[in-house]
Chains A and B, each alone.
Chain A
């Protein structure tokens, strides 16, 4: 059974950099794509980006300039770094395994439980 667990700071200050880790168990990180998704409080889901273990990444155009997603195969972890945080980045951040449908890694299963990140001074 594949399980994902997000971890990171619950609070970051405006202009700081967010670093989150997703620890994967039950599957090798070197086999699949891995995605990050976020959900502002009371709002809908927003895709952040994904990575293949080789390092191939694809980022949301709206976050691309501030975003880095990486993998650590030795720890079976996926990481997210988002720079220049603002209050608009306050959200629950989820990681998920991304499976290839017809062409793209577009269906997400399973998801981690998510971690709430608040941006406040």
Chain B
């Protein structure tokens, strides 16, 4: 059972927009920043969104992050087949004094 809750899977057709939710609580998302990671099949995770809504250099602006209260979301617009991956949210947890991840969401582009 992960500290941060994500839907196990989402799917959408190419060109459309999809959102992935990440639900936490006061000691983590409610108090600290949220970061998102993309893990392509067979690859290591890669930082996708940091500091709630910032994109590292090289990440397309089709990817965006937002946060409100104890929840965060990752939105992907203009879906492409190469976006098929697992997506993880993460945040520091003040109670556990450590980094916590969501369980991951598998995105399928139909």
Residue in A35, A37, A49, A104 whose Cβ sees the most chain B Cβ within 10 Å:
A104
Q: How large is the interface on B (under 10, 10 to 19, 20 to 34, 35 or more residues)?
A: 20 to 34
Among residues of A, the one whose C-beta sits closest to the C-beta of B46 is: A111
The 8 Å CB contact of B33, one of A59, A102, A110, is A102
The 8 Å CB contact of B103, one of A44, A59, A60, is A44
Q: B106 → chain A, closest Cβ, in Å?
A: 11
Interface residues of A in 78-118 (CB under 8 A from B): 94, 99, 101-104, 106-114
Number of A-B contacts (CB under 8 A): 76
The 8 Å CB contact of A44, one of B44, B47, B96, B101, is B101
Give a binary string over B44-84; 1 marks a CB under 8 Å from any A CB, 0 the rest.
11110011000010000000000000000000000000000
Beta-carbon contact of A58 and B100 below 8 Å: no
Q: B65 → chain A, closest Cβ, in Å?
A: 12
Beta-carbon contact of A58 and B46 below 8 Å: no
Q: How large is the interface on A (under 10, 10 to 19, 20 to 34, 35 or more residues)?
A: 20 to 34
Beta-carbon contact of A106 and B56 below 8 Å: no
Beta-carbon contact of B88 and A108 below 8 Å: no
Q: B32 → chain A, closest Cβ, in Å?
A: 7
A59 to B99, CA, bound (A): 9
Beta-carbon contact of B44 and A111 below 8 Å: yes
Among residues of A, the one whose C-beta sits closest to the C-beta of B50 is: A107
- Check A101/B50 contact, CB under 8 A, given A44-B88, A106-B92: yes
Beta-carbon contact of A108 and B35 below 8 Å: yes
Q: A15 → chain B, closest Cβ, in Å?
A: 26
Q: B56 → chain A, closest Cβ, in Å?
A: 7
Q: A24 → chain B, closest Cβ, in Å?
A: 15
Beta-carbon contact of A109 and B88 below 8 Å: no
A sample of 7 inter-chain contacts (CB < 8 A) reads A47-B101, A58-B97, A60-B98, A106-B32, A107-B35, A107-B90, A110-B47
Other A-B pairs beyond A44-B103, A47-B100, A58-B97, 4, CB < 8 Å? A46-B101, A101-B33, A103-B32, A111-B46
